[in-house]
């Protein structure tokens, strides 16, 4: 079942899918109820250009979030899964980078967003949901940060979405210009919302 679920998500453009018992992820301890901690947490993400190429609609305020939510609903229906969406479209603010680090998916970078072993800075966390279906925990092999031996050209830029372009790690996965413009616009809108809150 777990492999079928991963294959289903991959077909939709989500090439990152990691699972763990929710209660084993220490950064979520204060955010989840006792019942939620007993469930399986599924983290889905995308690296490189794959999701953008599969995205049916690139216009609107949050087309990636809308597509992610639609995919999670369809997945739950297809596999007859109960599911509780934690991200996106939930009132809880999840520490997504810390969740990624729990799985050894990513390391911090000097310019803000984490780096993935496979995709460098060109990946994103797209969805998190809980289900009562037990699944095997998928912890990736630990790896060393690529930033230690790097001359860090990213530090020449103050804006992280510009700094990301200077990161040499896994640059073959760099987003298209259209994709980068979309993410920059969304980020600026989110930051503006936080600053004006």
pLDDT tens, residue by residue, 22-59? 999 999 999 999 999 999 999 999 999 999 999 988 77
* pLDDT reported for residue 28: 96
Measured CA to CA, the distance from residue 122 to residue 142 in angstroms comes to: 19
Q: Which residues pair with 21 in a beta bridge?
A: 40
What integer pLDDT is reported at residue 98 of this predicted model? 96
As given in the structure block, the two tokens for residue 115 are 């780096």
- Return the pLDDT at 194: 58
pLDDT of residue 56: 87
Residue 155: predicted pLDDT: 94
Residue 181, SS3?
Answer: helix
pLDDT at residue 159, rounded to an integer: 83
- For the chain, which ranges sit under pLDDT 50? none
In sequence order, the β-bridge partners of residue 41 are 20, 130
Which residue carries 């616009």 as its tokens? 185
Predicted local confidence at residue 192, as pLDDT: 67
% the chain with pLDDT above 90 = 80
Q: So what's the pLDDT on residue 196? A: 62
């Amino acid at each position: 079942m777990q492999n079928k679920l991963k294959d289903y998500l991959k077909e939709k453009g989500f090439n990152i899918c990691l699972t763990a018992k929710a209660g084993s992820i220490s950064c979520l301890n204060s955010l989840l109820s006792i019942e939620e901690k007993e469930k399986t947490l599924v983290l889905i993400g995308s690296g490189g250009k794959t999701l953008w190429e599969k995205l049916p609609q690139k216009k609107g305020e949050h087309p990636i979030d809308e597509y992610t939510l639609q995919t999670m609903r369809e997945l739950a229906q297809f596999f007859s899964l109960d599911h509780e969406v934690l991200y996106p479209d939930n009132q809880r603010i999840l520490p997504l980078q810390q969740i990624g680090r729990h799985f050894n998916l990513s390391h911090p970078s000097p310019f803000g967003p984490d780096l993935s072993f496979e995709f460098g800075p060109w990946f994103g966390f797209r969805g998190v949901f809980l289900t009562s279906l037990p699944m095997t925990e998928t912890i990736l092999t630990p790896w060393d940060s690529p930033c230690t031996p790097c001359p860090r050209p990213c530090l020449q830029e103050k804006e992280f979405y510009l700094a990301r372009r200077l990161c040499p790690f896994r640059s073959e996965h760099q987003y298209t210009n259209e994709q980068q413009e979309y993410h920059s616009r969304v980020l600026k809108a989110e930051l503006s919302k936080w600053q004006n809150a």
